[in-house]
Amino acid sequence: MSIQYLKGVGPKMAEKFKRIGVLTALDLIHYYPRDWEDRRQLVPLKLARVQEAMTFQGEVESVSFSDTRTGLAVVSVLIKDGSGTLSCRWMRKKSFKYDVLNSFRKEFQPGVKLIVHGKV
């Protein structure tokens, strides 16, 4: 059976699947992730290693929002745990239709516990 007849797929999504070689439901079942990251291991902030992807848990200490001249919206969050602090940064291209980082404004408040993952 063609993948386009699966609920929620349709012709447009089927075309995207076709580009990666998925034509049938059986192909989709046998399409495995290219790689996998184990984000369950939380690392103390003092053990952060530059250029490595790691997962940290901390409490939001401060938050700032800014815009760049090149049209990016930037959120900077300083998190801390008992061992140290870490500055985290998210960037998105600004949109005239909606605030792309609006949910961050609501969620990132001082005192909120946060788990982050990314390259240090």
Structural contact between residues 94 and 68, judged by C-beta atoms closer than 8 angstroms: no
pLDDT for res 98: 76
Nearest to residue 31, comparing CAs of 20, 41, 46? 20
Q: State the pLDDT at residue 19.
A: 93
List, for residues 32-47, the tens digit of each pLDDT value.
888 888 899 999 999 9
Q: Is the pTM of this model over 0.85?
A: no
